[in-house]
Structure 1
Amino acid sequence: MNRQFETELQGKIALVTGGTKGAGQAIAKRLADAGATVIITARNAPDSPDERMHFIAADLSQPAGTQKVADEILTRFGRLDILINNLGGSETPGGGFAALTNADWEQTLQTNLLAPVRLDSALLPQMVARGEGIIIHIASIQARLPLFDSTLPYAAAKAGLVNYSKSLSNEVAPKGVRVLTVSPGWIMTDASERMVDRIAKSAGSSVEQARQSIMDGLGGIPMGRPAQPQEVAELVGYLVSPWAAYLTGAEFTIDGGTVPTI
């Protein structure tokens, strides 16, 4: 059987949150390359717009932003077939629990857990009504390998997202909707490159040494490098394709072997 990559998502409508940069941008491109109509959302427009993408400006950490995106999609396109909850990140200070405020916790939970929960709630009913749909939650290996010094709320939120994703899959799989989780390790995005540069300058080291120090902080990456955004995108592209039709309720870790346990 020949796999027709360019047309396997033809006619599908997909949303990628946080789709203007990093892994989200790569995922959006991968779905568009496979023939899907792709909607992306973020607070700010992409630096290099892709004419194939429909952009919606919204802050999904706020309920109003989530509702805006859902309303515009259903009004303009009438339905959504694929939802990639990719938005996420951590802006909390280092220093462990004592350095964190209530605002740090609330903002991190809103962005990394409650935003996808609200978006699912707004867009799931039409999937269930049609008896088909795919939702993918982009979590993190920090759900199982937390770094308490700098990303305590982020790790907790992602752990909650993994648990929620599994529970949701059990509920909606009998109704025709597949729900999956993808948990990446360190991804070498533009933001990561800038972080490596900052560490190198601060420590007076080379970029290679700074990159190695980050991998050492994770306990090592057996493959010896972070993931490329396109590698994460390829996994997501497969999971939303017809070739993965029997997959639901599972978590797929893509971390180069970082998590040392089964």
Structure 2
Amino acid sequence: METQDLKGKRALVTGGTKGIGKAIADELAAAGAQVIVTARTKPWETPHHFIAADLTNAGQVAELAKQITDTFGGIDILINNAGGLTTPGGGHSTLTDAHWQQELDLNLISAIRLDRILLPQMIGQKSGVVIHMSSVSGKQALWNLNLAYAVSKAALNSYSKALATELADKGVRVLTVSPGATRTEPMMKFLDDYCAAAGITPEEGMKQLMIQTGGIPMGRMAEPEEVAHLVHFLVSPSAAYLTGSVYAIDGGSLPVVG
């Protein structure tokens, strides 16, 4: 997308140093935005302003917000991308209280916490866009692979919808993007670990996953840049009348309507 439709906008992308987050950060910057990225550890190099933060730590979130306010005066676009699948498969009996809390802290509470601390400035300027990066797992849980993760993403979807309704008349739009299988480093590691545990080849593992999820009609994983294109559109002026919706980008894999 060769456009400068985000010129003058300030954007924060959490988990913005690799995978989908990096692709989003790069695309928003190419569209003219001033991009800030955050992650737990600093990458070897990034063209964007980097602030280290563990978003599951309330104190570090507060410090992140303070640095953003002090340096940039606030933000116009918030991409809540940080998250991931960190708990074991095997179903409900394998998951401890700590596992559930870990997944909720990472995939739900961290976004809620960051929204709460950054939204007052957006509301004050009567403009802003918040994107919550969810997953198709929020609508299609695989009990033996990602139960706690899927539940945390379903909760994020519900929270995002409620927040969008609350903020609709305050000039702030809230949207959810739900990628399906995407060719990122974490996804490929998940596939490798799954295959190693099952004692099967990557090709067999991919085939099994496709059978369990109903397959991908388009026949391939998404590329991170394709997800970034959707996010770019949603935060742009072209999407000014969109709020409260969940956008699946999954090659047609979700076997549900809506």
Q: Is the TM-score greater than 0.5? A: yes
Other structure's SS at 2:12 match: strand
Size of the alignment, in residue pairs?
A: 257
Equivalence for 1:120: 115
Is the Cα–Cα contact under 8 Å of residues 62 and 110 in structure 1 kept in the other structure?
Answer: no
In structure 2, how many angstroms separate the alpha carbons of the residues matched to 1:128 and 1:19? 24
In 2, the alpha carbon distance for the partners of 1:193 and 1:103 equals: 25
Contact 2:5 2:32 in 1 (8 A): yes
1:193 aligns with 2:171: no
1:105-157 CA-to-partner distances (Å, cap 9, x unmatched) read 11110110000001000000000011000000001111110011122111111
Q: State whether structure 2 residue 212 is matched by structure 1 residue 220.
A: no
SS state at 1:169 partner: helix
Task: Point out where structure 2 has 5 or more consecutive residues left out of the alignment.
Answer: none
SS in 1 for 2:3: helix
RMSD: 1.6
Q: Distance in 1 between matches of 2:42 and 2:5?
A: 28
Q: Which residue of 2 aligns with 1:6?
A: 3
1:97 equivalent among 75, 88, 92: 92
How far, CA to CA, are the matches of 1:201 and 1:104 in structure 2? 22
Q: CA deviation at 1:6?
A: 3.2
- The range that moved more, 142-151 or 33-42, is 142-151
AA aligned opposite 1:250? S
Letter in 1 for 2:100: W
Of 205-214 and 62-71, more deviation after overlay is shown by 205-214
Q: 2:66 aligns with which of 57, 66, 71?
A: 71
CA distance in 2, matches of 1:20, 1:75: 22
C-alpha distance in structure 2 between counterparts of 1:197 and 1:167, whole Å: 37
In structure 2, what is the equivalent of residue 27 of structure 1? 24
User: 1:111–1:196: structure 2 CA closer, same or farther, 3 Å change rule?
Assistant: closer
Identity, in percent, stands at: 51
| Aligned partner letter, 1:30 | E
TM superposition score normalised by structure 2: 0.94
Separation of aligned partners in 1, 2:64 and 2:115: 12
**Displacement after TM superposition at 1:95 (Å):** 1.5
Q: Distance in 1 between matches of 2:61 and 2:140?
A: 29
